[in-house]
Amino acid sequence: MTARSESTGSGADLNRQLSRVRAWIGQLRSGTRGLYKVLRANPLTLVGFALVVLITLTAVALVIVPPTSAVFGYPISLTPYDPNALLPCPTVGNQSFCAQPPSLEHFFGTDRAGRDVLSRVLTALPLDLAIGFLIAGFALLTGGALGLIAGFWDRPGTLGAAVSLAIMRVTDVFLAFPSLVLALAIAASLGRGTIPSIIAILLTWWPYYVRLTRGEVLAVKHQPYVTAARAAGVAEWRILFRHVLRNIAEPLVVYFTMDVGTVLVVFSTISFIGIGVPPNVPEWGNMIQAYSDYLLIFPWVVLFPGLAIFVTVLAFSLLGDGLRDILDPRSRRALSQAETPTSAPAATATAAGALG
């Protein structure tokens, strides 16, 4: 009798777990179907999403594939040539011409030292993308945490109000200077190098997230559902994470997505000025700075690194702008309704043909 009841109980638990899995799969399918409808209704968002996925997968493959393949004894390089290899230069008489225009052998051409430009552009992709995600992610976490504290516990006459005031005054000091100018000053004082440039941007990037997060928290924390939760005796930390943070995540995610491209531009600017990464490290801004004197003579050595920056920034900007519509329920509903009528004429025509 006991064994039968235990088996019955375990069977009920298994059915419960299976029901939860089926419900989760159903929600996933519904969400995927809704996302697909929104992406179809907004082609620019679809383009941005596809470009970001392609760029990210390429960067990950460039980092993972070579060492992984070397472990198995078959090293694979995803770049056509070694980015720092000085390739043989065509010679006419006693003069060598290393800078070659784009061709079937070198799709992006070669620079004056005979290095393959495509290989250098691809090698720079993981570095630039990682720096963009690192700095924007650090700013999101640091600035977001300080903004939550400054906004949620900002009550007159309390310790939280004093802490909020201190946070906002320090933030105002950093915001008093243009972020690029301040980052350049800090990078110049720390010395040339990749790490000093990253630190310089890290120190100047978080205040924007403090302002954004605090403003969103102040708008949300006085909503009726927050007041009701507090009246019901819900703990403050639970209100903060369950009711406040969940409702301010949308603008933070959108701003973070678009900010990755902005960080990339700022870092490339620091490298272009000459206080960023060392000259022997392939980096898009560094390449433009090194080849800027030859823009009119060998335009391809500047065009393709600049095009890489442009496409990457455009991809994240389009994705961020589309995420704003996807994450906003009203915009998502409007886009879904705008996409639905496109299939209505086809269905009507099919039905008419069947009746005919």
Q: Is the pLDDT confidence value at 119 over 90?
A: yes
Q: Is the pLDDT confidence value at 134 over 90?
A: yes
**Does 182 map to a domain?**
yes
**Does 8 map to a domain?**
no
pLDDT at residue number 87: 83
Could you count the other beta carbons within 10 Å of the beta carbon of residue 128? 25
Q: DSSP 3-state assignment of 267?
A: helix
Mean pLDDT of the chain: 82
How confident is residue 344, by pLDDT bands cut at 50, 70 and 90?
very low
**Does 341 map to a domain?**
no
Q: What is the chain's alpha carbon radius of gyration, rounded to the nearest angstrom? A: 27
How confident is residue 351, by pLDDT bands cut at 50, 70 and 90?
very low
Strand spans (E) along the chain: 91-92, 95-96
pLDDT at residue number 352: 47
Structure confidence by residue, pLDDT tens digits, 238-259: 888 888 888 888 889 989 999 9
Q: Is 191 left (phi over 0), alpha (psi -120 to 50) or beta?
A: left
**Does 152 map to a domain?**
yes
Structure confidence by residue, pLDDT tens digits, 163-190: 989 999 999 999 998 888 899 889 888 8
Q: Is the pLDDT confidence value at 199 over 50?
A: yes
Q: How many domains does the chain have?
A: 1
Partners of residue 116 on adjacent β-strands: 110
Structure confidence by residue, pLDDT tens digits, 21-32: 777 787 667 666
The domain of 159 spans: 112-325
Specify which of 70-84, 89-103, 299-313 reaches the highest per-range mean pLDDT: 299-313
CB of 305 within 8 A of CB of 124? yes
CATH number of the domain where residue 177 is located? 1.10.3720.10
Q: State percent of the chain over pLDDT 70.
A: 84
More confident residue, 306 or 19: 306
Q: What is the DSSP string of 280-295?
A: TS--HHHHHHHHGGGT
Q: Is the pLDDT confidence value at 215 over 70?
A: yes
Could you count the other beta carbons within 10 Å of the beta carbon of residue 20? 10
**Does 342 map to a domain?**
no
CA distance 131 to 124: 11
**Does 10 map to a domain?**
no
**Does 251 map to a domain?**
yes
Query: Of the given ranges (3-17, 202-216, 283-297, 312-326), which has the lowest mean pLDDT?
Result: 3-17
pTM score of the predicted model: 0.80
How confident is residue 58, by pLDDT bands cut at 50, 70 and 90?
very high
**Does 144 map to a domain?**
yes
pLDDT at residue number 350: 46
